[in-house]
Every structure is written in C-alpha cells, then in structure tokens.
Amino acid sequence: MEQIFNKLSESLFGQLNEGEHLILSFDGENSQFVRFNNASIRQTGLVDDADVGLKFIANGRTCSGGFTVSGNFDTDIARGSSEIDRMRIESEQIPKDPFLVMPENAGSSHEIKKANGLAFEDAVDAILPAVSGADFVGILANGKMFRGSANSLGQKHWFETESFCLDYSLVTPEHQMVKGCYAGSDWNQQDYEDYVKRSRDKLVLMERKPVKVDTGEYRTWFEAAAVADFLGMFSWNGISEASLRQGCSGFGRMRHDDVRLSSKFSIVEDFSPGFCPKFNSNGEISPDTISLIENGSLKNTLVSSRSAKEYGVESNFAEGGEYLRSPRMEPGSLNHNDVTKNIDKGLFLSNIHYLNWSDNAGGRITGLTRYACFWVENGEIVAPIETMRFDDSFYRFFGDQLVQVEDKLTVVPEVHTYGQRSLGATTCPGILVDSFALTL
Amino acid sequence: MKLNIDIKELLGAVDVPAQWVGIREVYEAHTPRMIRDGVPVANARSSTHGIMVEVLVNGQFGYYGTPDMTKEGVSRAAKKAYQQAEIASGHALHHFDESARPSFQGEYRSPYTKNRESLSAGNLNELLLDAYNSLKVSDKIVSASSLCQVIETSFKFASSNGSDINQEFLMLEFDLSATAADGTNQQTRTFGGMRGTCRQMGLEYFDKYEIMANAGRIGEQALELLEAEECPTGEMDIVIAPDQMMLQIHESIGHALEVDRILGDERNYAGWSFVKLEDFGTLQYGSKLMNITFDPTLESEFASYAFDDGGLKATKEYLIKDGLLVRGLGGKESQIRSGLDGVANFRSSGWNRAPIDRMANINLEPGDSTFDELIGQVENGVYMESNKSWSIDDYRNKFQFGCEYGKLIENGKLTKTVKNPNYRAISTPFWNSLKGVGNEDTFGIYGTPNCGKGEPNQSIRVGHASPACLFENVQVFGGV
C-alpha cells in the first residue's frame, strides 16, 4: 500500500503548475469481517479498500477531491489527474477563502507496527470453541489498516498497523446481556479464552430476576466503558473551538461563565500510546499531549489550523472536525474492589447506549442503560435492572456530583467500522456520581 | 472519472465450484458545497467504485469486496470468498440455497430533469452565498450556513442464475442553518437539517426565490427562539410536524420491524426489538388511524428503487394496517429464516459491505384531518417542528426526541413560541395514543442520509413521508 501511495503521490505532484499546492491523504485496509449470532456464523467476508483524498490549493481557493485506489497505477493516475483537472477549473469559479491553510514541510514520519495477528483462515477455529454452548453474538474485525499523508512541499507520513477486534455480547435465555471486546495486535489464544471465561462468569449475575427501578435520582457508578461514551459526546458540539465560536457547544458555560467541573476531572488528548497516527489528514502533527480540562477547568479546546486562522487563536493541529482522537481521563483513588461498598445503595452501570444532547447549552445528555447494569443495596449487587432512560448534565456528573474516580485506567478501543475500520481509543477510569437522574 | 465495467463479463472470470455467484458493482460520487459565515468551507467531489463478489458454498454465503475490477481481480476475489464461505459453512447459522437470491432483470432511474453539471460550482456557490446573506438577519446570528450535496449512484448486479439489474440514482441534499446566541443562551434553527431536504431529484430543485424566503424565515425564527420561553413540562397533547414525524417513524417503527433484529443478528450493536415473530398479525401497534407502508415506489422519495441489493423486485406493502402489525422489514434471507412475508429491503451501504435488512421508504399514510382540525382538538399542548435530538433503547421502546421549534397550543389555537420542546414515551402506548392524522395537505417527504446499523457498520439512506399527527397525553419538557 505504501508503495502505491508513494508512486501515486509523486506522479500527481508532478502535474501541478506554479502556484498550485496539493495535500494528499490515504486511508486503506485489508480486513476480514466475521459476523456471529448464537455462536454460529451469520456472514463472513473480506474487504480490500483504499481511498485517496486530495486538497488542491490555488488562486486563494481550496477544492477537495477523493477516489478509490484500485491498485492499478494507470487507472489510479487517470482518476487522480481527472480530479486535479476538475479542481483546477473549480478554483477559478468559487469564492476566495480568507482562511486558507497552506501546506508546510514540517518533517516526515514513518511508523509500521508489526504484529503476530490472527490469520484469516484460522479465525473461526480460534474463536468459536471458547463460546460453544453460549448465545454469543458479535463481530470479528481483523487485519491491516493504513493511513498516509503527503504534500507537494515534500512532507510525507505513513502509519500502518495490524489488529483484531472481537466485539461481542453474551446473552442469557431471559435476554440479559454481558458485553465483551477482546482487541489487540498479537493474538494469544490462552489470553482470549481467559477473557471469554470472565465474560461467561459475569453472565451468572445476569441470571437473577431483573428489578424495575423507579425514575428519580440515584448514587451511580459508571464503569470505564460508560465513561468513554460520555467523553465521546465531547467530540460532537463539545470541545471543538469552532463549535464554541459558532454557538453550538455544550462547553459554552465553561468558556463564557467560567463554570468549572469537579477538581477530580481532568482529560488530555494523548497520542503517546500510538493508538492512532499523530498526523491529521492535512499532514500536521499534534503535540504528544494536549491538556483539555485540568482539575475541572477548561484549559484548551481542540483547534484545527483553519479555526486558528478564522478565530485568531493558536492551532493544536486537531482534525478539521475538531474531535477527540486519543483522549485520556486522569485516574483517581477509588479501587474497583471498593466500588459497590462506596455505592452503598444505587446503580452500577457497565454500559450506556444511544447518547444524544437533550440540551446542548446546558450540557444535558440523554441515553439508556444497557448490558450489565445492576441495582446495589447495602454495598452488594442485588440484581440486574430493567432498561432505564437517563437525562442529566455533564456539569453535574463530571461536576458537583462527581464523588470519586477509579484508580485504574481502561483502554476502550474505537470499534466503529462505518466506511472503514476506525483507529483510536479512549483511556479512562470509572466514576462514582452522588446523584444521577433516571427519567423513563 | 468513472470506469465502465461489464460485470456480466467479469462473472465469467469466476472459477470456483460455488452453488451460486453474484457480482454487485457500486459507483457513488458525492459533491458537497457549503458556505459558512460568508466563506466557502466545502467544495469537494469524492467517489468510490468497487465490486462485491459473493459466493454460496455449502449453504453459506461468503464475500470479497474489492476495488480491483479486472478479470484477474475478480477471479482472485471469488477464490478468497469461496475459502471464507467454506470455512464458515461448518458453523453456519442457516444453510441457504439459491432461492435466497431470486433472479430478476430490470432497470431503474431516479426522476430528474437537471443533472449535476447543469449548475457550475460558481453558480452554486453564488446561490449558497445569497442564502447565507438572507439567513444573517441580525448580528445576534453568530453563525449561519447553507449547503447542498449531489449524490450520483450507479448500481449493477449480475448473478449465475440470471439476475441482470441496472439502477441509476441522482439525489440531492440541501439545508440552511442559523444559530442565534446571547451568551450561553443559544438556539439553532434549520431547514430540517440533512433530513429536511434529501430526495431523489436533480438541480431543478433550486428555486432561488423560495430558498431566499426560507432563509429569511429561518434566520428570524432563530432570533424568535432566543427570546422564547422554555417549553412547559407536563403531560399534554402534542401535534408533531412531518419533519419530526419522519424520525418518530424511523426510530419507533422502522428499526423495530427489521426482521434481522428480531432474529437477533443486531443484538451486539443496534440492538434487539420488542417485536417478536409471533406478533405479526396480532399486535395492535397503534390506533386505528395508523397505516404504515414500505413504499419504494413513491416518486422522488430518498430510498425509492426497483430492486434491492439481493436482486429482489421491490413493491409497496403495508407493514401496519389500521394499527395492526401485518408485515416485517425482512429481505429474502430473513423471509427464509423466519417464515414470514417480507419486503425487498436487503440493502448495503456500498460495494464493500454485505446487504442486511434495512429500511427503505417507510411512510405513514395520510388521514383526513386538516392541520387546523388537528390543532383545534387541543386544549393545552405543544406543536413541534424539526428534530434536533433523538435517542431510543436497544429494544426500540423508550424514546426521547427534542425539536428545534415549538408553539404552545391553547384552546385550539397556536399561540406563543417555545424553545427546547422535548417529549418522551414508550413506542406502542405512544402509537396507540395517536388521535389525529393529517390529510394530504399536511404530508411531507423527508428522509435521512445516515441511518446506522450492521456489523461491520453501514450508514444508509432511507426515506420517510408523513402527515402532521396529533398524540394525546405525552410527557413534554423543556431545557435546563
């Protein structure tokens, strides 16, 4: 893939006229997808895919393009040339862009992560025996992923990684479910079987008769996977500088009214674990870490180079959409063994589902409980709960209602496969909240 | 630049002893343009082009999606798909035969008169810039945008049992948005968002005078919302405009009736359904006023087509008739697995994803009430327009929606504007509280460009058309 991208880049850069600039981005994968239902195979297949994105800058204008890379150089160069011709014409027609971001050559990078992964032909036999007899449903996404960037000033980045992600649920006959996600680069059969066994052990708790919880406010523990979902909302009308400037961010109260979250709440954008490339689709490299909220106080927003120009602030080389790519929330002091004791009476929520802003300006988020969610009394898990809707503000559950933060961090991988397999992960602890509102 | 591919010739390059072989070619190009705050922020065109080779081996389908559309590439893809299917066939959830891919031949073309090239990039930017200027009615409008996107899709399908299908789609998405803010009091009003205007049509849609009139109204309504009271809290009647009804239908009917969900395929991602196989023909889903159709034939609706991605011919069918659940959203594979009648809804998001049960056009058929008659029945309630927030549980029961714009209904009349109108309920009690269905004059055609489902994930276009509707005794509330 890298050779294909390099050859294509060189040829397309050679077609530019004086005063024209081109930034190329590359996304590709060689993936296996195996879909399971009831510990059997529902669908199975392979996908080879690669796309090149083009940003053409000339005459004070920017045009973009993109096409699928077939792997046949003649076809691909014809597609790329056609795009350049089109963008050259359009750049004479469209209005000037006063906030144009010009390419730079700030140095190149090259990162290839080798792995001892799961061979495509071995995957089914490796996975299914451990889940035999269980109602196992989910997906294996497996294989290589590629990201690249190059510009006409000579800057070049390449990132290549191989990984697997078995994202699954185990289901009881009464339809109660436990979620699992076994992901990594090096496949270890024993480690996988141990992981599945722990999931199967959790199912025992789910066999108790579910209790119906009334609407109202409860002391609530959120496991790391649930916290990761809340943090994910910061990528959508949240931590983006452009969103704040355009009046559609839930962070407005922090920016304009100096409202602070709990001193126990800190998050950073942290690229050091290498879950995703440090370069963005413009080829810009972010700092290794960017402090966003420090002890409850908004320190930085995510700022793309375009927002930097438009609003006169400094870029931290966020992606154009100014979303979190590798967030990490700082740990606290609560040991997981002490969680139910510290809840005493309330809710233990392993996962949450289908979040949306119900009042963006007020920081209010609605969603639902899902999977292993329990009622706790006298510091002990009593039984799973029936699905409940919540509607509460992050200014409360990351703010004045945040009681304790777990002392251990969990890596929650990005598992989405819309269009292509995703890279990135959220690293965070669980949290204990004194009061959390269930509404339906 | 689109390559011309002869997939029937490529089918001849497949050399594996499969029970059945199909090749699906998809080309799709997106051309978005956007003006935000007076400057161009998007002038793009990106395309994707590839094929999916699908084989049936020992009753198990296997696939290989590839952008290599040469004979050698297809031969290689078929061999790898065969290997995947053969390995999986010993653990197949269901053993299919060729009847899962019926043989049909035919063509489809979206209705339009002006293609993408009928307006230049310059013409469109000028129109969008004018619209932006009309949105910016006050300095309190802190951000405004106008955007459009043209989507051109070409779909071809050929199979070893004689399917030969060619479908060409032209679609247009358009929106206007204005955000008014005063400190942390911020309100956004749109032309329905990306779900507001998304249809199969061409650039004949662009009527400059109508666009400018709507832009001015949207800007003024954003200001109106900034000054408005919060929506009241309590149990009351609501009248829902078609541009919110579309998502109500989508979330609390469409997804719940997908047969692959009911069969458990989606339990690890999108979720299950409160609907069970035995509910078809027996469950009173809603009031007698409720008639829901799967209608791939409604001209210009976003997800109209003649054949699904498994090659099944698409026809209009009632899903819910007089409130009674009669048919599910199950394609041929789900029909075989469940034993239920279904529809032609086996669809994929592109060449690199395998088809699954999806919505297409799911519509609420018009009733006989005028808009004034709907409002006139309400003593104390709220009228709501344009979705801005949505959420529903994994069984499609407990939902919550927020809208952009509300009006109090007092003694049968629309009165004051209210901001942040929200409501929440549970699916079947809610639909059984349907008290009035608007007539053809209140009917609107909408859709969504990004319905998410499936593993691996697939974002797909669906259409929804509905009249305005009245529901009684619903939980209503406002913002913080």
The distance of B151 to chain A (nearest Cα, Å) reads 14
Interchain contact, A257 vs B183, CB within 8 Å: yes
Q: Do B68 and A40 touch (CB under 8 A)?
A: no
Choose among A212, A400, A389, A227: nearest CA to B477. Answer: A389
CA B106 from chain center: how many Å?
Answer: 24
Q: How near does any CA of chain B get to the CA of A93, in Å?
A: 5
pLDDT at B480 over 90: no
A235 and A355 share one domain: yes
Give the integer Cα–Cα distance in Å for B332 and B102: 8
pTM: 0.97
Pairwise CA distance, residues A382 & A101, whole Å: 57
> Which residues are CB-neighbours of A136 under 8 A, at least 6 positions away?
A36, A38, A39, A168, A169, A170, A171
Whether residue A228 sits in one domain with residue A197: no
Specify the CATH number for the domain of residue A135: 3.30.2290.10
Same domain, A153 and A272: no
Q: Do residues A91 and A233 share a domain?
A: no
Q: Are A64 and A118 part of one and the same domain?
A: yes
Among B333, B155, B166, residue whose Cα is nearest residue B259: B333
* Same domain, residue pair A270 and A196: no
Tell me which of A206, A235, A257 is where a domain ends.
A206
Segment B53-65 mean pLDDT: 98
3-state class (DSSP) for residue A324: coil
Within a domain: A297: yes
Residues B365, B354: Cα–Cα separation, whole Å: 31
pLDDT at position B329: 98
Tell me whether residue B79 is exposed, middle or buried, using C-beta atoms within 10 angstroms of its C-beta: 0 to 12, 13 to 18, 19 or more. Answer: middle
CA–CA distance, A436 with A220 (Å, rounded to integer): 6
Instruction: Provide the β-strand partners of residue A293.
Output: A267, A298
Please indicate whether, in this complex, the C-beta atoms of B87 and A417 are within 8 angstroms of each other: no
Residue A420 resides in a domain? yes
| Amino acid letter, B332 | K
Considering the domain architecture, whether residues A197 and A249 belong to the same structural domain is answered as: no
Token duo for residue B464: 């929804």
Which residues, including other chains, have CB under 8 Å from residue B4's CB and lie 6 or more apart?
none
Per-residue pLDDT tens listing for chain A (440 residues): 999 999 999 999 999 999 999 999 999 999 999 999 999 999 999 999 999 999 999 999 999 999 999 999 999 999 999 999 999 999 999 999 999 999 999 999 999 999 999 999 999 999 999 999 999 999 999 999 999 999 999 999 999 999 999 999 999 999 999 999 999 999 999 999 999 999 999 999 899 999 999 999 999 999 999 999 999 999 999 999 999 999 999 999 999 999 999 999 999 999 999 999 999 999 999 999 999 999 999 999 999 999 999 999 999 999 999 999 999 999 999 999 999 999 999 999 999 999 999 999 999 999 999 999 999 999 999 999 999 999 999 999 999 999 999 999 999 999 999 999 999 999 999 999 999 999 99
Bridge partners of B378, per DSSP, are none
The distance of A51 to chain B (nearest Cα, Å) reads: 8
Contact A166, A59 (CB under 8 A): no
User: Residue A17: is it exposed, middle or buried by C-beta count within 10 angstroms (0-12/13-18/19+)?
Assistant: exposed
pLDDT (tens digit per residue) in B384-407: 999 999 999 999 999 999 999 999
Helices (H), ranges, B250-342: 259-262, 332-338
Query: CA of B301 to nearest chain A CA: how many angstroms apart?
Result: 24
Rounded mean pLDDT, B120-127: 97
Tell me which amino acid residue B257 is: L
B121-135 vs B208-227: helix axis angle to the nearest 10? 30
As a whole number of angstroms, the distance between CA B83 and CA B89 comes to: 10
Report the candidate in B128, B184, B211, B187 with the shortest Cα–Cα distance to residue B386.
B187
Note the pLDDT of residue B184.
85
Shared domain for A173 and A198, answered yes or no, is: yes
Phi and psi at residue A11, to the nearest 5°: -70, -40
- A116 burial (CB, 10 Å; 0-12 / 13-18 / 19+) is exposed
A-B Cβ pairs (cutoff 8 Å, strict): 267
Residue B152 region, left (φ>0) first, then alpha (ψ -120 to 50), else beta? beta
Is A80 part of a structural domain of the chain? yes
Cβ proximity of B84 and B18 under 8 Å: no
Q: Which residues of B touch A357 (CB under 8 A)?
A: 389
Quick check: B350 and B48 in contact, CB under 8 A?
yes
Q: Cβ of B68 and A72 within 8 Å?
A: yes
Q: Looking at the partner chain, which of A53, A68, A78 has a beta carbon nearest the beta carbon of B49? A: A68
**Number of residues written out for chain B:** 480
Kindly state whether residue A211 falls inside one of the protein's structural domains. Answer: no
Domain tally, chain A: 2
Beta carbons within 10 angstroms of residue B118's beta carbon: 13
Closest residue in B to A180 (Cα) is: B268
Q: In the structure encoding, which two tokens stand for residue B149, read together?
A: 């996107």
Q: How far apart are the first and last CA of chain A?
A: 50
Distance from CA of B107 to the nearest CA of A (A): 26
Q: Give me A227's structure tokens.
A: 């916290």
**Domain range list for chain B:** 7-227, 230-477
- Residues A432 and A380 placed together within one structural domain of the fold: yes
Chain B: nearest CA to A42, how far in angstroms? 5
Q: What is the ipTM of this complex?
A: 0.96
Q: Which residues of A are less than 8 Å from B184 in CB distance? A: 252-253, 256-257, 361
| Assigned domain for A295 exists | yes
Q: How far apart are the first and last CA of chain B?
A: 51
Q: Quick one: pLDDT at residue B101?
A: 97
Mean pLDDT of B328-356: 98
Integer angstrom CA distances of residue B133 from A248, B38, B124: 20, 7, 14
- Same domain for A331 and A296: yes
Q: Do B87 and A121 touch (CB under 8 A)?
A: yes
Q: Answer yes or no: do A354 and A395 share one domain.
A: yes
d(CA A423, CA A324): 12
**B5, B53, B70, B84, best to mutate vs chain A, most A CBs in 10 Å:** B84
CB B137 within 8 A of CB B220: yes
Q: Which residues of A touch B394 (CB under 8 A)?
A: 353-354, 368, 370, 387
CA distances B226 to A254, A361, B215, Å, are 20, 12, 17
Torsion of CA A293, A294, A297, A300, to 10 degrees: -50
How far does B374 lie from chain A, in Å, by closest CA? 27
Q: Which one of A206, A238, A257 terminates a domain?
A: A206
* Distance between A333 CA and the closest CA of chain B, angstroms: 32
Helix (H) or strand (E) holding B329: none
Helical spans, DSSP H, in A170-268: 189-206, 224-232, 241-245, 252-256
* Residue B1 binned pLDDT confidence (cut-offs 50, 70, 90): confident
Angle at which helix A73-90 crosses helix A2-13, to 10 degrees, equals 40
* Nearest CB to B400 within list A33, A358, A361: A358
Check whether domain B7-227 has CATH 3.30.2290.10, yes or no: yes
For residue A421, the chain B residues in CB contact (below 8 A) are 456
Do A190 and A271 belong together in one domain? no
Q: Are B200 and B301 in contact (CB under 8 A)?
A: yes
Instruction: Identify the residue whose tokens are 């109209």.
Output: B304
Q: Judge residue B343's burial from the number of C-beta atoms within 10 Å of its C-beta, 0-12 exposed, 13-18 middle, 19 or more buried.
A: buried
Neighbours of B177 (CB within 10 A): 26
In terms of residue numbers, what domain contains A240? Answer: 216-438
Which of B391, B394, B395, B424 should we substitute to test contact with A (largest number of A Cβ atoms within 10 Å)? Answer: B391
Q: Residue B435 pLDDT more than 90?
A: yes
Q: Which residue in A41, A170, A251 has the most chain B C-beta atoms within 10 A of its own C-beta, making it the best mutation to test that interface?
A: A41
Of the candidates A79, A98, A169, which has its C-beta nearest B267's C-beta? A169
How far is CA A222 from its chain centroid? Answer: 18
- Residue ending a domain, among A186, A206, A226, is A206
DSSP code for B245? H
Contacts of A229 in chain B (CB under 8 A): none
Contact A207, A215 (CB under 8 A): no
Q: What percent of chain B has pLDDT over 70?
A: 100
Confidence at residue A234, expressed as pLDDT on a 0 to 100 scale: 98
Please enumerate in sequence order all residues whose Cβ is within 8 A of that of A207, keeping only pairs 6 or more positions apart, or say none.
A172, A174, A176
With 0-12 / 13-18 / 19 or more C-beta atoms within 10 angstroms meaning exposed / middle / buried, residue A216 is exposed
What does the alpha-carbon distance between residue B391 and residue A389 come to, in Å, rounded to a whole number? 9
Judging contacts by C-beta atoms under 8 Å, the chain A residues touching residue B354 are 43, 45
Q: Which of B70, B179, B426 sits opposite A247 (nearest CB)?
A: B179
Do A402 and A431 meet the contact criterion of CB atoms below 8 Å apart?
A: yes
Contacts of A1 in chain B (CB under 8 A): none
